[in-house]
Every structure is written in C-alpha cells, then in structure tokens.
Amino acid sequence: MERTEKDVERYLCKRVKELGGKAYKFVSPGNAGVPDRVIIIPVQTDLGIGLTYFAEVKKPGELPRPLQKVVMRQMAHKGANVFTVATYEDVDDACEDMKKDRRDIEVAVRYAEKRGVL
C-alpha cells in the first residue's frame, strides 16, 4: 500500500512526540506557502531553552511547490530551521538531526553552567 502525505505527517508527529516535543499544525492566514508543521523540542525547560523547526510534509515522490520553496528559503535566510519530509526515512533523518541539535545545546548549557555564565 502506498503511503500518503497524511501517513507521513502522522509518523512525523509520532516521532516528534517520542523526542518529548510537539508538532503543531501551522496555518498562517494571508501567508500562502508556509510549512505544514511547527515543531518544538524541549532542551532545558528550567531555563526556557528549546528548539523550533518548520516542516513541510509531502507524500512520497512529491516536492514542495514553487511558492513553498520560496517561502521556506526566505524563512531559512531569516534563521529558521526548515525542512521537507516525504518519507518515513526523511522523518527519521530529521529526528536524528533534531536529537543532535538538542545534544549540542545541552553541551553548551553545561559548559556555560560550569563557568558560572548561567
């Protein structure tokens, strides 16, 4: 059975939840082409540190539309973490990247705490 965009989106939400995060449905009236999901991954909740990502979800074999590419590029140029997922493997790769980002921040926070910065 061929996977649908909805299947990939459900899998993304499940995997993000496993990371302790939440994948919110993103709708921005008057702003066509925005990604489907806003993902928030907690890092240090006592310090209010977390990671935010924007995910465009597609069915396998499908690519973002031209306007979506433009919007995602604009978001990335402003410093946003933006990615597209179209397969379960894409989701797994994105989650591995998010875990790595979280570990990097945890190391930086420990370093700053050790030196009395935080």
Q: Sketch the domain layout of the chain as residue ranges.
A: 5-114
H or E, element range at 80: none
**Beta carbons of 9 and 55 less than 8 angstroms apart:** no
pLDDT band at 46 (very low <50, low <70, confident <90, very high): confident
Beta bridge partners of 24: 38
pLDDT band at 1 (very low <50, low <70, confident <90, very high): confident
Tell me: pLDDT of 47 over 90: no
Specify whether domain 5-114 bears CATH 3.40.1350.10: yes
Percent above pLDDT 90 for the chain? 92
Full-prediction pTM beyond 0.75? yes
**Beta carbons of 101 and 95 less than 8 angstroms apart:** no
